[in-house]
Amino acid sequence: MDAGMDSPVRLERLEHVVVLTIDRPKALNALDAATLRALDAAIDQVGDARAVVLTGGGEKAFVAGADIAAMSTLSPMEAATFAGLGQRVFDKLEALPMPVIAAVNGFALGGGCELALACDLVLAAPNAVFGQPEVKLGVIPGFGGTQRLVRRVGSMRARELVYTGRNVKAEEAVAIGLALRVVTEGTVKDAALALANQIAAQGPVAVRLAKRAILDGDGADLRVGLAGERTLFGLCFATADQKEGMAAFLGKRAPGFTGA
So which residues are the catalytic ones? 114, 134
C-alpha 102/C-alpha 25 separation (Å) is: 17
Query: How far, CA to CA in Å, does 87 sit from each of 105, 110, 121?
Result: 22, 13, 19
Q: Residues 257, 245: contact at Cβ < 8 Å? A: yes
Q: Which of 170, 140, 241, 239 is nearest to 200 (CA)?
A: 241
CA torsion sign for 90, 94, 100, 105 is positive
Helices 145-153, 155-164: crossing angle, 10 deg rounding: 140
The amino acid sitting at 179 is: A
Query: How far, CA to CA in Å, does 116 sit from each of 4, 148, 188, 224, 252?
Result: 23, 10, 14, 27, 38
Q: Residues 196, 52: contact at Cβ < 8 Å? A: yes
Q: Which residues contact 170 (CB under 8 A, 6 or more apart)?
A: 124, 125, 126, 127, 128, 129, 179, 182
Three-class secondary structure of residue 258 per DSSP: coil
